[in-house]
Amino acid sequence: MNHPIPEKVLNDGTKVPVIGFGTAGLKGADGVTVIASAIDAGYRLIDTAFNYENEGAVGKAVRQSSVLPKASSVKHQTENLNIFDFELSPEEMNVISALSREDGRLWGQDPNSYEEL
């Protein structure tokens, strides 16, 4: 079940959720399940850190979710993909970069049935 989490708009127009999901201590298969469940429940700000030593679990949970990760810039997106051990082709990176369009949709998808993170 997806519950929308309120957002705040930053000075540059970027929207960020006001509540995030902490991942400290979530590792392995159980961590993947919990993090994926949080994404499915509506969390879009996933708090992780190098010191949590769970980049693999977070990356696998994001890959398993039905939500496409995106960042505010191509550079930041590339850094995120490197951290979470994603391997995307140049074509896939171009698709993610196109998500910065004002309406956030690549091919005019209905936002009621298609979601992007």
Active site residues: 52
Query: What gap in Å lies between CA 32 and CA 53, rounded to an integer?
Result: 13
> Could you tell me the CA-to-CA distances from 58 to 12, 16, 54 in Å, in that order?
27, 19, 6
Q: Which two tokens stand for residue 111?
A: 């936002």
Rounded Cα gap, residues 109 and 35, in angstroms: 26
93 neighbors 63 (Cβ within 8 angstroms): no
Q: For residues 23 and 54, is the Cβ–Cβ distance under 8 A?
A: yes
